[in-house]
Structure 1
Amino acid sequence: MKENLDGSHAVVIDDRRRLSGRGAWLHPQPACMEQALKRGAFNRAFRGQVETRDVEDRLHALKEASLGSHPKQTVLPESGSEN
């Protein structure tokens, strides 16, 4: 968690686990991040209102990456009955 210039607090993802200060551990899977955001877990863990933009951005990136590795099929293959 870091303090912004306006005095608010924001969650910062520390992949290397080296930043000082209060921390909260979370599985790096999108489902865990989504559930933590939905339930307000970061506000409870940090005992106050925190900005979660860093987590939301990471969740979005993970979802995009998973879509890229398994692209959804948008065009159905021909059944052969059109011939």
Structure 2
Amino acid sequence: MSGRTQAGVCPERMCVGCRERAVKGELLRIVVTEDACVPDPRGTLPGRGAYVHPVPVCLDQAVRRRAFPRAFRVPGPLDVKALRHYVEQAQSCRSAADTSAGQATR
């Protein structure tokens, strides 16, 4: 066995927003359909994928840096409305779960 491969190691991907490496399960896979970026939370949609942390900060950085067109090798801007909506929904679900968990421990 080489020094690079170890049993039980989770695959890592890089967030196109903040450019930090993270375990694949912590990132949201993005794919392109026509001229739009769409979330692929199950990782089953066909085509090239890019990964981003499912938080608005990383999404905004990726849009500002024009990382999605570069990652998908497409000319011109891509529509990120569906992606932004998904990230905002995920963020609100996480904050609601954190709030209810905090109340349950009291």
TM-score (norm 1): 0.59
Name the structure 1 match of 2:103.
none
Higher relative contact order (CA 8 A, sep 6+): 1
Quote the residue 2:26 is aligned against.
none
Q: Bigger radius of gyration, 1 or 2?
A: 1
Provide the aligned length of Structure 1 versus Structure 2: 66
- In the other structure, the counterpart of 1:38 is 64
User: Any conservation in 1 of the 2:36–2:80 contact (CA below 8 Å)?
Assistant: yes
Runs of 4+ in 1 over 6 A off after TM superposition: none
Paired amino acid for 2:46: S
* One of 30, 35, 42 as aligned partner of 1:16: 42
What is the RMSD computed on CA atoms of the aligned residues? 2.3
**Cα 1:17/1:63, change in 2 over 3 Å:** closer
Structure with greater proportional strand content: 2
TM (normalized to structure 2)?
0.49
Gaps of 5+ in 1: 4-8, 71-83
Report the identity percentage: 35
